[in-house]
Structures are given as C-alpha cells and as structure tokens.
A and B are shown apart, each in its own frame.
Chain A
Amino acid sequence: MTAPRYRSRLHQAARERRLETHPLTGWLRDDGECLGLDDYLAKDGYGVVRQVLGRQDPDDVIETLKAANVRGRGGGGFSAGVKWSLTLKGADMPRGYLVCNADEMEPGTFKDRLLLEQVPHLLLEGMILGGYANDAFYGYIFLRGEYVAAARALSRAIEEARAAGWLGRDIAGSGFDFDIALHTGAGRYICGEETALINSLEGRRANPRAKPPFPGQSGAWGRPTVVNNVETLCNVPAVLRFGADWYQGLSGARSDDGGTKLYGVSGRVHRPGLWELPMGTPAGELLDRAGGLRDGRALKAWLPGGGSTGFLLPEHLDLALDFDTIGQAGSRLGTGILALVADDQSLVALVRNLEAFFARESCGWCTPCRDGLPWAAELLRALERGDGRPGDIERLEALAADQGPGKTFCAHAPGAAMPLASAIRCFREEFERGIAAPGKEAR
C-alpha cells in the first residue's frame, strides 16, 4: 500500500465555478495547481486594485464592505467593514499594518489551505485593497509553519506581484505604497488568536494581550493593526468589483450574511472535502454532497465549524449554516467546516481528545485555562476508562462554566468549554456510563 500525498479536495469542477457565482473558487484551476500571475491577470486579476486605488475614497470602500455584510471567516463572524471602520487612521496617526491570519489550526478546518496554495494572488489583491482602506503601509501574512506548499506559493506570488508593480511604491500609478512580507510560524494553536498572533509576529511568546486597546487602535509595534482571516480577505476583490448588492444576492433568501462560504465536511463520509456554496446553505445539503456516512452508519452529532464550537444533533441538519442561525441553536458557525460523528463513535472519547488538545495548546497565561483544561481532560480520561466518580460530570460542568466568556484572558478556554458543555448537555447518559460502580473505583 502507498499513502497518498495530501491534496485538498474541492468537489466542484471548473465549469461549475464562475467568478460571478463563486468569488473564491471561480479562480481555481481544475488540476489543483497554483494559479500564476499570468493566469491571474488573464482573468482580470488585480483589476480591482486598478479600479479602486486612488480612485475611490477609502471610506467608501469600507462602506461597501459594510453594506455587503462580509462577516469574518476565521470563525468570529464580526463584520469586516465595521472592523475596518474602527481602525484608527488619519493625518495625525502613524500608518499601520494589515495582517492576514493564515494560521489555520482550528481542529477540523482545512479551507484556507486551498486558497493559499492555489490562488495566492487573490489573497494579495485582497490585502492590497485592505491596506488601502485601512491606510496601512505594510502587510504580513502570518502563515503556520507546517503549510510548506502554501509558503512556496505565497513567496513566489509576492515576488511576481512586486516585480509587476502590484506591490511596492506607487501601486498602479495610484500614489499608494504598500508591500507584503510572509511570516511563517513555528507551531502553537494560540497564534491564531489575533493579539497572540501580534505578539508572535513581534518575535515574542504568543500570549494574548489585554483588550482594549484593540489591535485596530494599537497593535503591532504600537501601530494600528488590522487582522483578517484568509477567506475574508479573498472575498474583498469580488465585493468591490461587483458591489454589495451582488454580494448580498449570492446568499439571497438563505441568509442575511452576504456572499458564499467555503464549506467543508470531514468524518467518515463517502466524499470528505470542500464546496463553495451560498452562505446559509443547510447542513443537510452538505451531508448529501459528501455522500452521507460510510459503512451504513447513522449521524450521531456534528461540529459546525471546528473544535471550539458546540455539538449539534441530526435534528439541526435543516439549519442554515450562517453565523446567527447556528448561534441561536447554541453553537457557533466557526469556520463552517463540519466534522461529523457517526453513531458508533464515543462522544466521551472525542471530547477527551478535544480537551486534551486545548489543554496542550493553552499558552498558560491565565489560571482557568492553564489549570482548568488539564483537569477537565483528566476527568474525561477517567470517564472514558469507566473509572469516573460520582460528581465528575458536575465538576466538568462547573469547569466549563468557569471557562466561559469574560472569565479568561482570551477566547481559548471559552472555545474549549463549548464542545464540553454541549456534549454533556446532549449526551449526558454517555458520560454517566463512565462512572464506576460503587467500590469499583480504581482511582
């Protein structure tokens, strides 16, 4: 047997993907190779840079983003236009930075890799436009160290763009100067948290920073710094090319969140992979596209968008996958990449895996996270062995509550609490089966 080299699986052929309907994957080649500068230009790539820079007021660019309701695709769902409007800028402010968060490490998430490896110029174009709107003079792509192919693609794209005058001084004769550097990381999930990311970019330990001040006020080296996810930035050129109404129309009646979403499915399904679909596509449609579960299994539960989102049930498959709908169901859309759990898979074991992950990846800065997460993982290991004690489940619930929003320095522990609390809520009897009979405790 031969283990295959990993390749992203986008299950939509090029003939199905047009830029007017698929603003992200409409650019992609069918063979999965990286789109070079010539091919990008042939499809009017960087056309929006020419159209906007020096010709549109930066504030108008931000208004278009707001009207389109581009919500942050890194998982937070915050309006990109509103974020940009809060960046400090003006004649009395130093020009700042635009940082692309390409530190994709959320368990179960594999969407940004596709865009980084196969259409790096789209990201660069989005960053140039973001730099212009936010009056930034320099951009960084914070890329996780393991994304080796993406690093190659981005380095080459940056060189190509610079040589062709799309980066550097006086871009396209607009008078606007902006350049981009690639920064590759060295591991640690916490680097994806935007203030920890800024510390890491500055060459420090990736502990998060207190907010306020928000990065848009004071970020990297004390300058205003905007941090946006890869997929968010890749949406920007199309929004400015075709307009806010067009973007809203992509999702139409399905969702108030505009545009498309790069959705995905992992788990024991026939066709795991990625699809670019209108925002608000129901989860069940994704499960169908993935061909359903293998081995005749039934669906037991699913995570809508990464390890830090809450579990949902088969009855939730009709829900529109957008930020508000999934939030109202008690979870979070997160990254919109579904992980499916089959009915023969243990929720206790899966939650143990998740909490052990979050415990390992805690930066150690604040107590509920540093001490609470290993404790939760330990209790879950005992329940998994059938060696739990009466009160362990209540202890886990208390730990999850103590890690809730507002009780920790950043969103790491609250993220860890979501799958834990929701799994106990939905599958309590499975956890109860892990409690040892009286007198049989090994601990």
Chain B
Amino acid sequence: MREHLQPLASDGDGFVLDLADRRAIERERAHYAQPQAACIEALKIVQRRHGWVPDGAIIAIADTLGIGPAEVEGVATFYSLIFRRPVGRHVILLCDSSSCFLGGHEAVRDALSRQLGLDFGETTADGRFTLLPVCCLGACDGAPALMIDDDTYGPVATEDVMELLERYP
C-alpha cells in the first residue's frame, strides 16, 4: 500500500516496528469499520514497548494503517496519555481534580516534587520517574489519589510518598 512511505518507515529515526506489535495493530484494526480507528491503540502498543512514541513510530503506524502520518501525529499530540517525548521508567499520574483538591492533593504534589526534584511534566535525571497531572481518576472516595504505572493508590498521605516511590525501582 502507500509505496512512497516505505523508505521512511524504515528510515525515520531508525525506528522499526516490532513484528509482534505490527500484528497486534492489525488485530485491532479488525475491530473497526476503518483502519484509522486503530491508530490510538497502535500508539499505545508502541508506547507499551518503548515507553514513548518516537517520530519513526508515527510513520510506521501510518504505514501499517494506510493513513497519513499527519493524521497519526494529530492524534498523538491530542491525547494526554500518549507521550511524544521520552518519559521515565515509571509515570506518576497525580489526580489534581476537584475532589482530590478538597482532599489535599497539593500537599502530596509538593511532597512528590520535593522528593523527586520535579515539577509536573518533568523526568528525574536518572530516568526513573516522570510526574504528570491527570484528570479526575474516579477514586474520589480515596482522595487524594494517584497512579504509578498501572497501579492506583488512595488515599495517599504525604508521609506515604517516600515508601510508595521505593516500590518502583
């Protein structure tokens, strides 16, 4: 399909789409009337393996789905959980919505910031943690709540923060 994209798909920044990932993307595509619908899941598949989505992956996904790279890039930059820059080995998503605000998330944010030397959007120098704010996590009866990778915690007290981080080497 799309011959003109072929050279870029292997050039890019040296990115090569893993064969298993390509197959997983093609399986996703079967769930939808049009291939473009699989592009969010494709970005997530790449991100699960690489941690983030490099330029070459945008081109490789576009090529796999037979859509334009600009379409994929437009989607990749819209969604907050698709990372177009490298992130740490562990991503901390701290809920900063209203119930966590009432539950004192700002103190937890400050404790995390102090402990890691980070503001929102930053990654530790050793590449271990990235700290990001997130939309209400739907854990308001456990406010303040946060996620580290796939794990949701709450309520989190400021004095819990150090021990919590130690679980994610």
Contact = CB atoms under 8 A, between A and B. Distances in A.
A189 B135 CA distance: 7
Nearest to B31: A181
A201 interface: yes
Contacts, number: 174
Most buried by B among A104, A106, A107, A221: A107
A93 interface: no
Q: What class of interface size applies to chain B in its complex with A?
A: 35 or more
Contacts of B39: 203
Interface string A278-308: 0000000000000000000000000100010
Contacts of B152: 5-6, 146, 148-149
B145 interface: yes
Interface string A86-112: 000000000000000000111111101
Contact of A187 (B34, B99, B134, B164): B134
B103 A107 contact: no
Contact of B153 (A5, A205, A345): A5
A339 B101 CA distance: 11
Interface in B131-169: 133-143, 145, 147, 150-157, 159-161, 163-164
Secondary structure of the B contact surface, majority rule: mixed
A184 B44 contact: yes
Nearest to A152: B150
Interface stretch (B2-10, B75-83, B122-130): B75-83
Contacts of B136: 105-109, 307
A221 B33 contact: yes
Interface stretch (A127-135, A260-268, A316-324): A260-268
Interface string A134-175: 000000000011111100000000000000000000000000
Interface of A: 1-9, 104-110, 112-113, 144-149, 181, 183-189, 200-206, 220-221, 264-268, 272-274, 303, 307, 337, 339-342, 345, 349-350, 353-354, 357, 360-361, 363
14 contacts: A1-B157, A2-B164, A4-B155, A5-B152, A107-B98, A107-B135, A109-B140, A186-B81, A189-B135, A202-B37, A266-B102, A339-B99, A340-B102, A360-B133
